């Protein structure tokens, strides 16, 4: 037998233990449930925080009254909760930007008339005071009679898109300003280029007049002799008018020749000194060299200079501005004469070659020529003292000269280079190996020339 209370006492000791275990289990399950609820609420709050859209519904109860409900996402978009909208029926109107209220009101009136207007984008004041952009899209609901009974609206936060559009518009405006500034700069550059060309032609003309001044003495000499012949013929006719017819005919013939020669000289001089635009035409380079030598013939005779011509026969014709290229050769010839004050030899050479093959010249001045391209070369060489090596890099600088004071202006070679540049050619000046100066002009041949 069991003592009194034995079995009962044993059973009583086991029951409380089971109850405690069950209670602990229930507490754990409740804690898990509460934790799950908290996690769900947190996820919901995070979801609401990330929502940029919300839906509102408007129920039209009577002809002119309406009841509005705002979805939970309204707080993420506007900062106001659904309850705040319900407590303040005109909150939605006050939060609209003052400049957009008329458009929003007109949109609402169109909806109430049963229309389906396109989405409207406008600004609102967020609860935190910032300005936000929203896109309001309405969808009407009508009964079987076509009467409006309600409409839904979708509000989307488009602030970031609007900011991006504003940045794009600013960038486009800046681009337009930069484009306008670029066009203005281009116009100024074109104007400056035209002014530069005008100045360049004026500079060429100034140097041309300098050459004309140098030629004045020779022209006077050339003109004086024909006029003297005319005067002698007139005296002869005056003293021998009754004389033989043959003598009279011969004198008149001499007078005519002298007058023609004087007329040609004056005409060539006027043509050389006339201001003209750059007008290249097909020209015979050898003939141009001969005319230039003829114009300074009196200077050559007075300087006791011998002229050696090495002009290649059948030289291709070249596109040249005759007046300006005559100015080039006259300038180079006069420089050579002035460098040989004690007499010497002026050698003029022309030939045509293939650039880089038969003619090897290097440097920036010859960068416009292609390897194997046909070119015409003209060389002017004197037997003077040459140019100091330290002066060679500056010989094309305006107003730089190695001549004594009062002789020249230092513009001659600068103008020569500009004229050659206008022709798309190149000029090289260096001291010749055996003394004196060697000037090399390189010009492109006329494209249709058959070599």
Does some domain include residue 163? no
Q: Is the pLDDT of residue 151 over 50?
A: yes
Q: Is 0.75 topped by the overall pTM?
A: no
- Domain membership of residue 172 (yes or no) is no
d(CA 71, CA 79) in angstroms, rounded, equals 13
User: Could you tell me the sign of the dihedral formed by the alpha carbons of 340, 341, 345, 348, in that order?
Assistant: positive
- Are residue 301 and residue 445 in the same domain, yes or no? yes
> For residue 404, what is the DSSP state?
P
CATH of the domain at 153: 3.30.450.20
113 and 68 within one domain: yes
Determine, yes or no, domain membership for 168: no
Give the residue from 229, 258, 275 where a domain finishes: 275
Boundary of a domain, candidates 210, 242, 275? 275
Task: Please tell me the predicted confidence (pLDDT) of residue 448.
Answer: 43
Per-residue pLDDT tens digits for 32-67 = 767 766 766 665 455 444 445 888 888 887 555 567
Q: Give burial (CB, 10 Å; 0-12/13-18/19+) of 78.
A: buried
Summarize pLDDT for 157-199 with one digit per residue, the tens: 998 888 888 888 888 888 888 888 888 888 888 888 887 877 7
Q: Do 196 and 270 have their domain in common?
A: yes
Reported as a pLDDT band with limits 50, 70 and 90, residue 10 is very low
In terms of domains, do 213 and 302 share one?
Answer: no
Query: Is-contact 172 164, C-beta < 8 A?
Result: no
Q: Is 142 helix (H, G, I), strand (E, B) or coil?
A: strand
Q: H or E stretch including 326? A: helix 322-339
Decide if 164 is inside a domain.
no
- On whether both 195 and 234 belong to a single domain, the answer is yes
> Which 8-state DSSP code applies to residue 154?
E
Q: Is residue 141 part of a domain?
A: yes
How many domains is the chain built from?
Answer: 4
The residue among 275, 310, 336 that closes a domain is 275
Do 428 and 297 share a structural domain?
Answer: yes
Domain ranges, residue 113: 52-157
Q: Is residue 225 part of a domain?
A: yes
Q: What would the pLDDT profile of 323-367 be if each residue is shown by its tens digit?
A: 889 889 988 998 888 888 888 999 999 998 888 766 767 666 677
**From the CB of residue 75, how many other CB atoms can be counted at a distance below 10 Å?**
20
Judge if 38 and 64 occupy the same domain: no
Residues 441 and 320 in one domain: yes
Helix/strand number for the chain, H first, E second:
11, 12
Q: What percent of the chain has pLDDT over 90?
A: 17
As given in the structure block, the two tokens for residue 75 are 């707080």
CATH number of the structural domain spanning residue 291: 3.30.565.10
Q: For residue 230, with 0-12 CB atoms within 10 Å meaning exposed, 13-18 middle and 19 or more buried, which class applies? A: middle
pLDDT tens track for 379-428:
999 998 888 888 777 777 765 566 554 455 556 787 788 888 888 888 88
Residue 307 and residue 440 share a domain: yes
Cα 82–Cα 84–Cα 89 angle in degrees, nearest 5:
100
Q: What is the DSSP string of 276-292?
A: -----EEE-HHHHHHHH
Assess whether 305 and 402 both reside in one domain.
Answer: yes
Asked, for residue 370, whether it belongs to a domain, the answer is: yes
Q: Which helix (H) or strand (E) holds 132?
A: strand 131-142
Domain shared by 191 and 303, yes or no: no
CATH at 198: 1.10.287
Same domain membership, residue 389 and residue 313:
yes
Residue 145 is assigned to a structural domain of this protein? yes
pLDDT in tens, 106-123: 998 888 888 889 999 999
């Amino acid at each position: 037998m069991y003592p009194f209370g034995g079995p009962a006492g044993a059973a009583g000791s086991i029951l409380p233990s089971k109850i405690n275990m069950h209670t602990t289990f229930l507490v754990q399950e409740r804690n898990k449930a509460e934790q799950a609820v908290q996690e769900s609420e947190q996820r919901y709050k995070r979801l609401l925080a990330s929502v940029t859209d919300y839906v509102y519904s408007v129920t039209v109860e009577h002809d002119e009254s309406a009841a509005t409900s705002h979805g939970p996402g309204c707080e993420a978009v506007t900062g106001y909760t659904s309850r705040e909208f319900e407590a303040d029926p005109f909150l939605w109107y006050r939060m609209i930007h003052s400049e957009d209220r008329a458009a929003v009101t007109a949109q609402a009136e169109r909806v109430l008339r049963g229309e389906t207007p396109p989405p409207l984008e406008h600004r609102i004041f967020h609860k935190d005071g910032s300005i936000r952009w929203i896109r309001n899209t309405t969808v009407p609901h009508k009964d079987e009679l076509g009467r409006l009974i309600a409409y839904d609206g979708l509000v989307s936060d488009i602030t970031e898109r609007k900011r991006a559009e504003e940045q794009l518009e600013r960038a486009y405006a800046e681009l337009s300003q930069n484009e306008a500034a670029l066009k203005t700069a281009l116009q100024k550059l074109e104007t400056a280029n035209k002014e530069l060309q005008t100045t360049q032609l004026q500079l060429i003309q100034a140097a041309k007049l300098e050459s004309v001044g140098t030629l004045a003495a020779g022209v006077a000499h050339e003109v004086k002799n024909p006029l003297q012949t005319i005067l002698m013929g007139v005296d002869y006719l005056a003293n021998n008018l009754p004389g033989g017819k043959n003598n009279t005919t011969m004198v008149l013939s001499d007078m005519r020749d002298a007058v023609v020669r004087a007329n040609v000289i004056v005409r060539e001089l006027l043509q050389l000194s006339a201001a003209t635009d750059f007008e290249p035409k097909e020209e015979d380079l050898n003939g141009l060299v001969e005319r230039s030598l003829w114009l300074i013939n009196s200077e050559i005779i007075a300087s006791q200079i011998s002229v050696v011509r090495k002009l290649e026969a059948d030289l291709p014709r070249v596109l040249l501005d005759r007046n300006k290229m005559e100015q080039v050769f006259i300038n180079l010839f006069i420089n050579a004469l002035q460098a040989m004050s004690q007499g010497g030899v002026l050698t003029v050479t022309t030939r045509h070659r293939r650039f880089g093959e038969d003619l090897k010249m290097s440097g920036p001045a010859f960068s416009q020529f292609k390897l194997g391209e046909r070119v015409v070369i003209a060389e002017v060489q004197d037997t003077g003292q040459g140019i100091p090596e330290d002066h060679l890099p500056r010989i094309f600088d305006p107003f730089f000269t190695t001549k004594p004071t009062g002789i020249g202006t230092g513009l001659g070679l600068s103008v020569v280079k500009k004229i050659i540049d206008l022709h798309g050619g190149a000029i090289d000046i260096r001291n010749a190996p055996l003394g004196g100066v060697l000037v090399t002009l390189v010009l492109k041949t006329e494209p249709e020339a058959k070599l």
